[in-house]
Amino acid sequence: MKAYLILEDGTVFTGKGIGSDREVISEIVFNTSMTGYLEVLTDPSYAGQAVVMTYPLIGNYGITPDMESQKPWPDGYIVRELSRNYSNFRATGSIQDFLLEHDIPGICGIDTRALTKILREKGTMNGMITRNENYNLDEILPKLHAYTTGNVVDKVTCDEVHVLKGTGKKVALLDFGAKNNIAKSLNDRGCEVTIYPARTKAEEILAANPDGIMLSNGPGDPKDCGSIIDEVKKLYDSDVPIFAICLGHQLMALATGADTHKMKYGHRGGNHPVKDLATGKVYISSQNHGYVVDTDKLDPAVATPAFVNVNDGTNEGLAYVGKNIFTVQFHPEACPGPQDSAYLFDRFIDMMSK
């Protein structure tokens, strides 16, 4: 059946419907990863967004156990070609069935290269996926302009506290939409990881006497997390070592007086070079974010830039002055992506040990 992708600038792409047949309005973003489509689908940071995969063939190894959460989170899925067959000894089904099972609509058979060029040139915009061939642009475009992702952190966070047992350091992981591999990366290094819902009070976390605190990735505009930012400030004021990733990095910056702004089209993929300003080394990183910390408004007495994006010069990490706190915008746990920066988990454990 025909399907249509309608962008808020009035551009319409015609393709074939995949997944659910329901209509959806969402923010349209693109991911440049050449592999790991299942990890992308199950990354909670995509809540409130429809994902365009720039790699042209998706689904050739089906659905495997490589999931970053229990379910897929994007509002929609947009690909050039969806593999008609899948082949992998671990596969349990096809992407088409996976999308249907979780009621996610999508579209294939469109020129994703042309779509990505539009999003790069004009910036991220909202769009609609529909199978209604009698769509009315005059009615749809105002709805697209009005759409916002809203408070998506509450949508993706865990419902209750749970623990990954370990014999090493005790880490409190605040779940703003955490990918599974963050907790796993700590647990594999011996840490006992206690995972808390996003709106847990700082007092409850600190009362458990953790050796360190981890602030996770997550979706949406960090400025929509006002009450969470207040709790992050209390964690900053404690003497507990803190390591933050992605949204957690942005929330810590906002909690300490810095600012964030929305990027033109963000960083989403597994090939972003970041430079460690302390060593001069460059690492290839996995990233998924549409907002960035504004270093022009950073108080050097509070924090200093620690990493920078080699492509566009945007901030990729901060080191906090006089505190055992460091934060990064990229994903050292990868999945999908390179493992270059996994050493940051070891740095965090060393920080807790000292």
Q: Is 127 annotated as a binding residue?
A: no
**Alpha-helix runs per DSSP H in 159-307:** 180-187, 202-207, 226-237, 247-255
CA-closest candidate to residue 57, choices 75, 40, 28, 34: 34
Q: Is 220 annotated as a binding residue?
A: yes
Q: How far, in Å, are 93, 191, 273 from residue 126 at the CA level?
A: 30, 41, 28
**Residue among 192, 316, 333, 335 flagged as catalytic:** 333
Is 187 in contact with 210 (CB distance < 8 Å)?
no
**Residue among 39, 225, 331, 335 flagged as catalytic:** 331
Written as six digits, the tokens of 271 are: 């090939």
CA-closest candidate to residue 245, choices 185, 153, 327: 327
**Residue among 246, 272, 316, 335 flagged as catalytic:** 246
Alpha-carbon span 302 to 304, nearest angstrom: 7
Q: Is 344 annotated as a binding residue?
A: no
Establish whether 331 is a catalytic residue. Answer: yes
Q: Is 339 annotated as a binding residue?
A: no
Q: Is 168 annotated as a binding residue?
A: no
Is 191 in contact with 266 (CB distance < 8 Å)?
no
Is 45 in contact with 247 (CB distance < 8 Å)?
yes
CA-closest candidate to residue 221, choices 290, 122, 293, 286: 290
Q: What is the dihedral of CA 278, 282, 283, 286, to 10 degrees?
A: 100
Q: Is 288 annotated as a binding residue?
A: yes
Q: Is 290 annotated as a binding residue?
A: yes
Alpha-carbon span 197 to 91, nearest angstrom: 31
As a whole number of Å, the CA-based R_g of the chain is 20
Alpha-carbon span 350 to 336, nearest angstrom: 26
Q: Is 15 annotated as a binding residue?
A: no
Q: Which residues are annotated as a binding site for L-glutamine?
A: 45, 218, 220, 247, 250, 288, 290-291
Q: Which residues are annotated as a binding site?
A: 45, 218, 220, 247, 250, 288, 290-291
- The set of catalytic residues is 246, 331, 333
